[in-house]
Amino acid sequence: MLTVTCQGCGVRFEAQRPTRKWCTRPCMKRTLYRRYRARGPVVAACHQCGQMFAHTQPHQLYCCARCRNNAHNQRQKEHFRSYCADRRRIIRHYVIDLLGGHCVGCGEADWRVLQVNHINGGGRAESRSSNIYEKIYKGKRVLDDLDLRCANCNVRYEYDRRRSA
């Protein structure tokens, strides 16, 4: 162990590494803050609005509370959007796997083109009232009158069903 003098308070202490400069973490923070304050105000641009302002705290990024809150809200919105998109994708994959994972007409297995088809009709009314994938995922919707078709087969199926009616 080495005996080192603290740069903040001048106390001698035992250090495990020769690079250690302060006796404790609070002493280090206090010293660095004092140095920062002695340096005078630092002018920087606000990360949100771009306005120039003088720092009153170390590592201050925003000129006012409004800018800080706006930045926080934007980050929250972006996080929520990505969370919702991921959740929808997971639920859609679950429902596709539950319904067989491939088109009943042609056997297409690409999840991007697969659609839930209502065999007895009524899909438009149901899709307007709620999200069918969410209902199936939560177990609130029976699968008896549903099948899985690719976009082309679904259009052909609906066209043939209307022509025969």
Per-residue pLDDT for the chain (165 aa), expressed as one digit of tens each?
789 898 888 899 888 888 888 899 899 988 888 877 777 777 889 989 999 988 777 788 899 999 999 999 999 999 999 999 999 999 999 999 999 999 999 999 999 999 998 888 777 777 777 788 888 899 888 888 899 999 999 999 988 888 775
Whether 36 and 53 map to the same domain: the answer is: no
Whether 108 and 150 map to the same domain: the answer is: yes
Look up residue 83 and give its two tokens: 């969370």
Chain-centre distance for alpha carbon 135: 23
Beta bridge partners of 2: 15
Q: How far apart are CA 103 and CA 78, in angstroms?
A: 34
What is the count of structural domains for the chain? 3
Q: What is the pLDDT of residue 165?
A: 58
Is residue 118 exposed (0-12), middle (13-18) or buried (19+ Cβ within 10 Å)? middle
Domain that holds residue 58: 41-86
SS3 content of the chain, % helix, strand, coil (to 5): 45, 15, 40
Q: Final residue of a domain: which of 52, 86, 120? A: 86
Contact 118, 146 (CB under 8 A): yes
Q: How far apart are CA 46 and CA 116, in angstroms?
A: 49
Residue 15 lies in a domain: yes
Whether 122 and 156 map to the same domain: the answer is: yes
What DSSP string describes 75-125? HHHHHHHHHHHHHHHHHHHHHHHHTTSS-TTT----TTTEEEEETTS-HHH
Is residue 77 exposed (0-12), middle (13-18) or buried (19+ Cβ within 10 Å)? exposed
Contact 53, 46 (CB under 8 A): yes
> DSSP code of 22?
-
Whether 75 and 18 map to the same domain: the answer is: no
